[in-house]
Structure formats: structure tokens, C-alpha cells
Chain A
Amino acid sequence: MSVLVGYDTKLVVQGMSGSAGAFHARQMVEYGTRVVAGVTPGKGGSKVEGLAQVPMFDTVAEAVDQAGANTTVIYVPPPFAADSILEAAAAGIQVIIAITEGIPARDMVKVKYVLDHEYPGVVLVGPNCPGVITPGQCKVGIMPGYIHKPGGVGVVSRSGTLTYEVVGQLTTLGLGQSTAIGIGGDPVKGTDFIQALEWFAADPGTSSIFMIGEIGGDSEERAAAFVKANIKKPVAAFIGGQTAPPGKRMGHAGAIISGGKGAAADKIAALQEAGIAVSPTPAEMGKTLAKLLG
């Protein structure tokens, strides 16, 4: 079993003619993902190097109609990314995974508003995220595929590279993953912890959960309350930025301690209070879950 992406995923790559889009499209094809189309405005009918079997279109609507795409991954540069997300939703894509880093918050406020009101069934993951992978079935995003292994741990994370870190550790310990979801580090995003936790709770293929949060905002605190009330599966977690100074934006637009809110200590306390095992260092994330599973 899996969440969001799997054998049924038929993927369109928005921005496939760009260097990042092309490189990662090739990696996804190599992993076994069914990449059915690429979209770059003005590049319809052309070919992308190493991806001769994948038809290019000018619009997402054509990718849906002619290639049967049901999921998209977006590598479009920040000034045009909001437009690309809305185009995908309008074309009938059900799962939108936005990798692009650096989309203005004003654009995302509008995108989120439109998705919530006009396309309530559409799932947006990201932006500024590594993507989603169901090991052995389908990889959508930029994560290195080889570190993953099919299994029962559902992973949800605000950080890209920390997701690889925990997945690498889990695989080394023999703990495979059901699906790993990178929700991204932006303040306004699609899927948040609670939604991902709901999916993992309902997924029979997921037997335990690892959650990676970071400083800023209060979504970890809200997730902790949700876990306490709703999740019966074992949950372990890690919070990045425990030593970050207040008032400094740590790379992610969302990672800033401001007005006394968003500090790691508060998040860790909330997680522990909800019965979640919190890893003391980023090097012990895998071990922390393994210990919890006994």
C-alpha cells in the first residue's frame, strides 16, 4: 500500500526542458516512475535529451487529454510557479507536487485560496519540497532513489535533506518506508503534517510514522495534538534548528523564531507530551524509531 503516489501514478513534469526538470525526469524514469508527459510553454512537440520517449506539450491540459497524466511535478522557476500550479489544477490533475523553491508568499496565499475553494479534491504537496516517494513503486521529486527501501514507515518532513537523512538511517537499520512525503519549508503550503498523518493513519501499509519538523510556526504543536487524539500507530520525531538564534531566517522562509513563537523547545515539549519519541540529534532519528518499535 502507499499514499499519494504509486503504481497508478501517471506523471507529467512541468518545466521538463529546464536543467533541473530534465535531470530529475531522467532519474524518475530510471527509478520506474511512469513519466507520461513533459510540459514547457513553447516547447510542445520537441524532445528533451535522454527523454525521447516522453512527449512534450505546451499545456498541462494536453498532457492530461493526450497522455492521461493524473499527477504533476513542478520544476518551474519561482516567478511562474504559482501559475503552473493553478494550470495543473484547472487541467484536472489530482496530485500536484511543487518542488520550486522561492515562490513569493503573496502568490501562495492566492494559490491556496483558489485550490481550497475551487478544487477541494486536489492535493498540493509543497512548494519548496523534495517531493513524494513510494519506495519500489514510484518516485516523484528530487530525492535520491537508492537510499529508500519498501516497508512500513511513513515519513513526513518539512525539510528535504533531513528527509534523506532519516530515510538513509531507517534503510540502514532495515526499516523500509511505505511513503515519504516532503511537505516543504514554506510558511504557506499545501499538505501539512495533520493531513499527511491522516493518510498514514488510514494506510494499511503504514505501521509506524516518522515526522521531521523545524523551528517556526506552530504546525508541529498542532500535529502533536492531532497525534495524541487520533493516531494509534507508533510515532517518532525530530525538530531541526534547536540551536538557531531567534529573529534569523534559517534558509526556509518558514524557519524563523519570531515574537517568541516557533522555538524548538516548545515543539519538542508538545511532541513528547503527545507520547511521541523525539530524537535528540539528527544522527539518531532512525535509532529512535527502531527503539520505539522494540
Chain B
Amino acid sequence: MKIHEYQGKELLKKYGVPVPLGIAATSAADAIAAIPKVQEQAGTEVVVVKAQIHAGGRGKGGGVKVAKTRADAEAAVKKIFGMQLVTPQTGPEGKKVQRILVEQGLAIEHEYYLGMLLDRATARVTVMASVEGGMDIEEVAAKHPEKILKQAIDPATGWQDWQSRVLAKQLGLSGKVAGELAKFLRSLTRCYEDMDCSMLEINPLVTTKDGKVLALDAKINFDDNALFRHPELEAWRDPNEEDASEQEAKKWDLSYISLDGNIGCMVNGAGLAMSTMDIIKYYGGAPANFLDVGGGATAEKVTAAFKIITSSADVKAIFVNIFGGIMKCDTIAQGVITAVKEVGLKVPLVVRLEGTNVELGKKMLAESGLNILAASDMADGAQKAVKAAKEAR
């Protein structure tokens, strides 16, 4: 799960991580009203107007403006609010800006990069830092991996202050600022652990002329598997950032991702679901979605999944590809039959069943009277679905 920068900063502040003073707004009027408040509370003319969307690279797309006066700041809000912000991470269509953060400007001494994530190779959460802060950290990582400093967290002890001292030395920080960094990292690592983060990125982390260390940006992702421990995070979901079908799927605990094609897919197992997308493309088609109904799905869940697929007008054919293990073929059959009875079937349906209770599943589908194209295996099913989608156009 992803959250906005301003939400991330709110969370960091709760953990004692220093962040600039700022006010978030969900309308242009509120954002404009926030400008003098930020100026007054921070005691500075300069403010930064930042578009709040989940994608990174906002500065490059014109979604972040430093304003030296109130008038400049108002102009920036008017320009940014409602704009279709295109960044390297949004895709060409961009994302509409519907939230803005107005923040105090700072007298920055230097910008650093700071990131935390789970390093799979070592199975440890790792803090990464670099003097090359700012926008192009991916490029630094690719071209100069030695410039990314790393400290892994020992699961038995948690983050230790000596690790901050080592990083400070490597980053060229000393004295009061080094102490500030240690405090910063102590709080930040505690937040990561407590909140079951899966990624936490501060880019840039800044030192100011008066010796402070602050998080100028905050990108936080949470481990979806641990959301049950943090029900309060639900309030931070932004429906505008999530696809409607993906939200509906989430309600049913289905793993669903919308894609650009026209062949709706219902598959059990993430690996098989990905490979089903691959083989549809291989035979010249395009998947409309990734959908893993999971292992322990009930017939109701399968029905919900089927409805989500058929609700898209783009879908011209449906390919159900099941190799049952924990998932039983009769459960799939029951779910599909119920869904079709409730919402009808307007496009060709190709079904490939194999695995646990396969005979029962096939029998149920055959006796249901539904118009189903049976597939003998995955390749056969993919080819039939691609052909059906092409003929429908």
C-alpha cells in the first residue's frame, strides 16, 4: 500500500523524525488559504508548492514549485492543482493533481539520499544513503553503486547508533549535524519496523544552514501482508490513486491489476497468472488484467472475481486458466456458473481446468448449459481466447 508524501510526513513526525512545516489541501482554495499560514508559522516568505500524487519524479513534470512570494505561491497552486501531471513513473497519460502540500522553504546546505528496504539477498532491512541526493538516485545506483552506502539492521538488536556514526562519517558529516542524523535515523528505523513498511525513501534528506537534518520528501510503502496489524491506515487510502476494479478486488481479497488489453483472465496462483499473461501476448493477444483468485477462494469470491472481469467494456473474451491445488476445480466452476447467472455472459468464455477435483468441475460446467469453449491445455486456451477476442472486434 502506498500513501501520499504529506501523509508520510505526518507519520514520520509522530515518530519524531524532523520534517518541514506544511499544510495539505484538497482544493485550490484551501491551498491558497494555507500559504499565509505556512509563511507566518515558519517565519519565512519562501514556500514550496508540491503536487501530491503517488508517482515519483514530480519535480521533473512541473509538479513542485519553490515560490519566493505569496503571489508566486498562489500562481503555483493555480497552475498545479487539477493539472494532469506527467512524470517518468505515471505513464504518458499522467495523473490528475487533486491534493497539494504547501510547505516552508528551507535554507538548504546539502541534499542527501536516504532509503530503507528489505534486502532479499541478506533477508535484512537495509538503510541506504548517498551524498548524491536529489532526483536521479536510480541513475546513481546503476552507474556508481559504490556511492550508495549501506547498513543492514540486525534483526536481534535493531538499528544501533554506531551505524549512524559510520554513515555520518562516510557522508562527511560531523559535530552537531552528525548527532542530529543519529536522532533522525533512530526515529526513522523505529517507524519502519513498527509500521511494517516495505519501502521508505527520503529523497532528499537535507541538512540546513543552521545545522538541522530534515526529511524534505517522504515516500512510504507498507507491506500489504501486514495491513491487518494497522487498520488505521485504511483512512489514508486515496481512491483517486487506485483503479476502481482494483479497489473492488481488494474488498474480496483478490490479487488484481488492470492492464491495457482485451482478454480478461482468471487464474489461480500468481506464477500461473503472470505466465497466462505471457502466453496470451505470445500468441498475439493482450491481457486486460492480472487476476490471481488465490488458493483458499470460496465460490462467492470466484463469482466476485468473474464480475470484476466482465464489468470492463474493454474485455472481448475471457480466459479462465486453473490448475487446482489448494483451489478446487468445482469451486471455480460453481463461482463462474453463479456469476454468469447473475450478470450474464456477453463475450466468449474459454475455460481450461486441471488439478484437484477436475472431473467434478468439468461435469458441473458441462451440465450448466453455459456456452463455454473448453481448452485442453494452457496453449490451447490462450490461442482460443486470442482468436475469440480478435473475432469480436
Contacts and interface: CB of A to CB of B under 8 A. Distances in A.
B294 interface: yes
Interface in A212-252: 212, 214-215, 217-219, 222, 238, 240-245, 247-252
A105 B225 contact: yes
A283 B379 contact: yes
Interface stretch (B11-19, B67-75, B121-129): B121-129
Given A259-B141, A283-B378, A187 B120 contact: yes
Given A110-B155, A259-B141, A282 B279 contact: yes
Contact-residue size bin, chain B (C-beta under 8 Å from the other chain) = 35 or more
Interface in A50-73: none
B282 A280 contact: yes
B123 A212 contact: no
B225 A103 contact: yes
Interface string B276-298: 11110110000100101011100
A252 B229 contact: no
Contacts of B189: none
Interface string B165-194: 000000000000000000000000000010
Given A105-B198, A188-B120, A283-B377, A255 B355 contact: no
Nearest to A185: B270
Nearest to A246: B89
B282 A250 contact: no
A272 interface: no
A102 interface: yes
B118 A160 contact: no
Interface string A149-181: 000000001111111110010000000000000
Contacts of B120: 187-188, 217-219, 254
B271 interface: yes
Contacts of A103: 225
B223 interface: yes
B138 interface: yes
B334 interface: no
A195 interface: no
Contact of B225 (A24, A104, A110, A218): A104
Contacts of B257: 248, 250
Contact of A165 (B141, B193, B323): B323
Given A144-B355, A281-B278, A104 B271 contact: no
A288 to B, nearest CB: 13
B138 A251 contact: no
Interface string A177-205: 00000000101100000000000000000
A121 interface: no
Given A143-B325, A160-B271, A109 B124 contact: yes
B44 interface: no
A275 interface: no
A47 interface: no
A101 B123 CA distance: 18
Given A112-B123, A218-B121, A144 B356 contact: yes
Contact of B270 (A165, A250, A282): A250
A61 to B, nearest CB: 24
Contacts of B228: 78-79
Contacts of B142: 260
A281 B355 CA distance: 20
A141 to B, nearest CB: 8
B281 A243 contact: yes
A161 B271 contact: yes
B217 to A, nearest CB: 17
Contacts of A282: 272, 275-276, 278-279, 378
B278 A242 contact: yes
Contacts of A242: 278, 281
B16 to A, nearest CB: 20
B269 A160 contact: yes
A157 B275 CA distance: 13
B216 to A, nearest CB: 20
Interface in A99-126: 99, 101-106, 108-110, 112-113, 117
B324 interface: yes
A253 interface: yes
Interface in B354-374: 354-356
Contacts of B89: 247
A179 B99 CA distance: 54
A128 B229 CA distance: 19
Contact of A251 (B156, B270, B278, B323): B270
B123 A255 contact: no
A19 B331 CA distance: 14
Nearest to B156: A113
Contact of A157 (B259, B271, B382): B271
B56 to A, nearest CB: 10
A188 B255 CA distance: 20
Contacts of A108: 123
B155 A105 contact: no
B325 A165 contact: no
Contact of A243 (B223, B272, B278, B323): B278
Nearest to A162: B271
A157 B325 CA distance: 15
A269 interface: no
Which 10 pairs, one residue from A and one from B, show the smallest C-beta to C-beta distance?
A159-B271, A251-B270, A161-B269, A283-B379, A161-B272, A104-B226, A282-B275, A241-B274, A162-B271, A113-B155
Given A20-B326, A105-B198, A253-B225, 7 more contacts: A109-B118, A144-B324, A163-B271, A164-B323, A168-B323, A240-B275, A251-B269
15 contacts: A79-B228, A101-B294, A106-B193, A110-B155, A113-B123, A113-B156, A157-B271, A160-B325, A165-B275, A168-B354, A188-B118, A242-B278, A248-B257, A254-B120, A283-B279
Interface of B: 89, 118, 120-121, 123-125, 138, 141-142, 155-156, 193, 196, 198, 223-226, 228-229, 255, 257, 259, 267-279, 281-282, 287, 290, 292, 294-296, 323-326, 354-356, 377-379, 382
